[in-house]
Homo-oligomer: A and B are copies of this chain.
Amino acid sequence: MSRGKVVLAYSGGLDTSCILRWLLDQNYEVICYMANIGQDEDFEAARRKAEQIGASQVVIEDLREIFVKEYVWPAIQAGLLYESRYLLGTSLARPCISVGLITAAKKYNALYISHGATGKGNDQVRFELSCYSLWPDVKIIAPWRIKEFTSRFQGRQDLIKYASLNNIPVPVTPKAPWSMDANLMHVSYESGILENPNNEPPHDLFHMTQDLAKTPNEPFKLSIEFCQGLPVKVITQDAQVFDKPLEMFTYLNQIAGKHGIGRIDIVENRFIGLKSRGVYETPAGHILHVAHTDLEVFCLDKEVYRVKQNLKEKLSDFVYNGFWFSPEGEYVRKCIALAEETVTGKVNMEVYKGNVVVLGRWSPVSLYNEELVSMDKHSEFSPSDATGFINIQAIRLKEYHRFQKQQNK
């Protein structure tokens, strides 16, 4: 008798195919769920594979538009950056996919969600916290944390053997000596030979960005327009215009990728307290981040900017740790959106040989006052005021000096 229905986050790969089979062995009915968030995948082949293995249902959903509008856009608006460098490409995809999983579970009356994320990683946390937030009663089956499963499948060879025995097609090309995860925003690489943080990443690693040596020898100019902190238009030097989120983002990936933009190689702190090395390429995300950062300082009041930056630091951690759906995640996103109400304008830039060069910026409503700051005009500014300003600031410093002398007596 069936133990119930499971919605499995299915990728079509060896791992989740074996998990599918194993769940069936455990007498679950399995619905495979695949989200298209822009990864390079033959979804129909994966569907056939899942059906052949025994999935009672295969759901393939195109979440690309939603992913860009509801996850990537707010991240750009907030300026999210984890530990000074990581644009959170994977972290943003997980809550997006989780909504799909939970929606499918409710639709098909499944009580369980299962996934192939491993026990040392961040993704298990992100998937599960998102799911619990969305539907507290859901039950999660995480095979890589279940003893029966992990003792049976101790390495890749065990999976291949099991696949062969169960007529699951085994990949003919040998696995790359690293693992990767791809979506519209980025491809990430980790594990295998990358685990040694001193190993240089191989040149054939990258998928979205061209090697610098092979990028065009001419720079390419484009402008990005933002409204309330959100990207609304891309205009290129050859007069192309993109103003739909998915189109804009896809175009920026293409042009930035062609110019070798957005690669990083970092060590990061995982939520569970391990340090891990990751290599990422985030072409469109990188160019949008640079443009947004530029416009934000241009438009925001100095002190509002500081409060908002502080909130951004917190939100970056929340999102990385899997708390996109959480009281604090929702609250801080609302606060940041409030600050961004005045981040509206255009940034002109040039992409070239891996560089995003800002050339200028303009806003209909900036706090920048050319008249006031000009060295050639006094405008309303009275220079003698600065004397008082400095003298008052100096009071505390002079007192400290007095104090130090007093102490040293």
A: which residues have CB within 8 A of B? 83-85, 118-120, 124-125, 128-129, 132-136, 142, 144-147, 150, 155, 179, 191-192, 195-201, 212-213, 219, 263-270, 272-277, 293-294, 297-298, 301-307, 309-311, 313-314, 317-318, 322-323, 325-328, 331-332, 334-335, 338-339, 342, 348, 352-355, 357-362, 365-370, 372-376, 378, 380-403, 406-407
Residue on B with the closest CB to A397?
B133
A158: min CB distance to chain B, Å: 13
Residues of B near A352 (CB, < 8 A) are 212, 354
Are B335 and A403 closer than 8 Å at their CB atoms?
no
Are A390 and B297 closer than 8 Å at their CB atoms?
no
Are A303 and B275 closer than 8 Å at their CB atoms?
no
A208: min CB distance to chain B, Å: 16
Task: Identify the interface centre among A268, A269, A355, A361: most chain B CB within 10 Å of its CB.
Answer: A269
Are A383 and B145 closer than 8 Å at their CB atoms?
yes
Residues of B near A362 (CB, < 8 A) are 197-198
Residues of B near A338 (CB, < 8 A) are 331, 334-335, 338
Number of copies: 4
Residues of B near A355 (CB, < 8 A) are 212, 353-355
Residues of B near A385 (CB, < 8 A) are 387-389, 391-392
Are B399 and A372 closer than 8 Å at their CB atoms?
yes
Are B373 and A274 closer than 8 Å at their CB atoms?
yes
A305: min CB distance to chain B, Å: 7
How long is the Cα–Cα vector from A126 to B395 in the complex, in angstroms?
Answer: 14
How long is the Cα–Cα vector from A332 to B339 in the complex, in angstroms?
Answer: 9
Residues of B near A192 (CB, < 8 A) are 375
Are A265 and B358 closer than 8 Å at their CB atoms?
yes
Can you list 12 A-B contacts (CB < 8 A)? A119-B383, A119-B384, A191-B376, A212-B219, A213-B219, A265-B357, A267-B294, A301-B331, A353-B353, A365-B406, A385-B389, A389-B392
Are B359 and A200 closer than 8 Å at their CB atoms?
yes
How long is the Cα–Cα vector from A314 to B314 in the complex, in angstroms?
Answer: 14
A350: min CB distance to chain B, Å: 9
A138: min CB distance to chain B, Å: 10
Are A401 and B133 closer than 8 Å at their CB atoms?
yes
How long is the Cα–Cα vector from A267 to B366 in the complex, in angstroms?
Answer: 11
Are B197 and A397 closer than 8 Å at their CB atoms?
no
Are B383 and A120 closer than 8 Å at their CB atoms?
yes
Are A304 and B275 closer than 8 Å at their CB atoms?
no
How long is the Cα–Cα vector from A297 to B264 in the complex, in angstroms?
Answer: 14
Are A274 and B395 closer than 8 Å at their CB atoms?
yes
Residue on B with the closest CB to A354?
B355
Are A365 and B293 closer than 8 Å at their CB atoms?
no
Residues of B near A191 (CB, < 8 A) are 374-376
A180: min CB distance to chain B, Å: 13
Which among B146, B373, B402 is the interface contact of A136 at CB below 8 angstroms? B402
Given A361-B267, A372-B399, check contact A125 B393 (CB 8 Å). Answer: yes
Residues of B near A150 (CB, < 8 A) are 378, 383
Which among B84, B380, B399 is the interface contact of A273 at CB below 8 angstroms? B399
How long is the Cα–Cα vector from A338 to B306 in the complex, in angstroms?
Answer: 19
Residues of B near A200 (CB, < 8 A) are 348, 359-360
How long is the Cα–Cα vector from A77 to B155 in the complex, in angstroms?
Answer: 42
